[in-house]
Amino acid sequence: MATTVNWEGVYPALLTPFTADDQLDLSLFKLNLQAQIDAGVQGVILGGSLGEASTITPEEKLQLLQAALDVTDGQIPVIVNIAEAVTSVAVKAAQDAEKAGADGLMLLPPMRYYSDPRETVEFFTTVAKATSLPIMIYNNPVDYKIMTSIAMFEELAKYPNIQSVKESTRDLTNIIRMRNAFGDRFKIMGGVDTLIMESVVLGADGLVGGLVDAFPEETMAVYNLTKAGQIAEAREIYQWFMPLLELDIHPKLVQYIKLAATATGIGSEYVRAPRLAVIGEERERVLNIIQTALAKRPELTSVR
C-alpha cells in the first residue's frame, strides 16, 4: 500500500553512491537514507540531479527504489524522479516506478529538446494521465532552460495528481505569485539550498534539499525553527550553513556534496563518468569550506 505524499517538510534529493568499480553502493545508500530518517525528514527523492539521473540506468533506479522502500518501510514517501527526453519513455518510467512501489513522482520537462509552453504542458499531462501517482513538477528554468509559467500551471491544475511544484526559479516572489493564482491548489517545495529559509518564510510547504544529504540534522533545524517562527535561532544556524549550501548551486554540486557527505561519514566521493572526482586546488578549496564548517558545527537543541 502506497504511503501518502503530503508534499510538506524536508525531502532530500538523495545521492546515488557508487563503489570503486562503478556499481551501486546500496549499503552506503541505505546508511545515508537511515541518517535522513533519523533526522526526521518527511520524504525522499531518488534519481534527481544530485542522484546523477543522467548516468544511472532505469534498472539501477528501480534497484534504488527497492532499497529505499526496504529502509523506509512505509514511514515516509519515496519519490522517483522522471527526467527523460522522449514522452513515451517518460510514461514508461512513471508506470514502472508505480508498479515497483513508488509513492510519487518528480517530473522534469523534456530533456535536451527545448520545448515550448504547449509542448511542455503536453509532456507533463501525458505522463500525469498515464499514472495514478501524485506528481511534483520541477520548475528550474535556470538549469533546464524551461520555465513553467502561471499560465501553464493553469492548464496543469486540471489534473488532480499534479499536486506540487519544486520551486527553483530563484525568484522568491514566484511563491507569492503561485499562492495568488492558485491558493493552496499546489503545494510549494523550495528547491534551492541557498534560499531554504527565505522560501519557508514566504510560505513554502517544504523543501527539496541537497546539503541535507551530508547535514540532515542542521537542515531539519533550519526548517523546523523557521516554521515555528524562531527566526533568530534559525538564522544563526543558516548563517553558519551558508558556505556549505552554496556548494549546491555550482555545476559540480554532485562532486561537492559527495565530498561533504564523505566528511560527515554518510557518503563517498565516487561519481560516475563523465563526471570525475575533483582534484588538486579545487578539491582542497571545497574541503576547506567543509572542514571550516565542521570545526564550528553548531550544537543543536531538539526542534522536531
User: What are phi and psi for residue 274, nearest 5 degrees?
Assistant: -80, -5
pLDDT of 304 > 80? The answer is no
* 171-208 pLDDT per residue, tens: 999 999 999 999 999 999 999 999 999 999 999 999 99
Q: Tell me the average pLDDT across 125-147.
A: 96
Chain position carrying cell 553558519: 240
Q: In what order do the strands lie in the sheet with 206-209?
A: 9-12, 206-209, 187-190, 162-167, 135-139, 104-107, 78-82, 44-46
Q: What is the pLDDT of residue 302?
A: 52
Q: Tell me the average pLDDT across 213-237.
A: 98
* 31-70 pLDDT per residue, tens: 999 999 999 999 999 999 999 999 999 999 999 999 999 9
* 61-92 pLDDT per residue, tens: 999 999 999 999 999 999 999 999 999 999 99
Nearest-angstrom CA–CA distance, 98 and 127: 12
* 1-28 pLDDT per residue, tens: 789 999 999 999 999 999 999 999 999 9
DSSP string over 45-114: EESSTTTTTTTS-HHHHHHHHHHHHHHHTTSS-EEEEE--SSHHHHHHHHHHHHHTT--EEEEPPPSSS-
- 3-state class of 136 per DSSP? strand
Q: What is the pLDDT of residue 209?
A: 97
Topology (CATH level 3) of domain 9-295: TIM Barrel (3.20.20)
Q: What is the pLDDT of residue 259?
A: 98
Nearest-angstrom CA–CA distance, 133 and 147: 23
* β-strand partners of 9: 206
Q: Tell me the average pLDDT across 209-234.
A: 98
User: What are phi and psi for residue 136, nearest 5 degrees?
Assistant: -110, 125
Q: How many CB atoms lie within 10 A of CB 273?
A: 7
pLDDT-based confidence at residue 251 (cuts at 50, 70, 90): very high
pLDDT of 225 > 60? The answer is yes
> Where do the structural domains in the chain lie, given as residue ranges?
9-295
Indicate the average pLDDT of the chain: 97
pLDDT of 301 > 90? The answer is no
Largest CA distance in the chain: 52
- 3-state class of 18 per DSSP? strand
Q: What is the pLDDT of residue 2?
A: 84
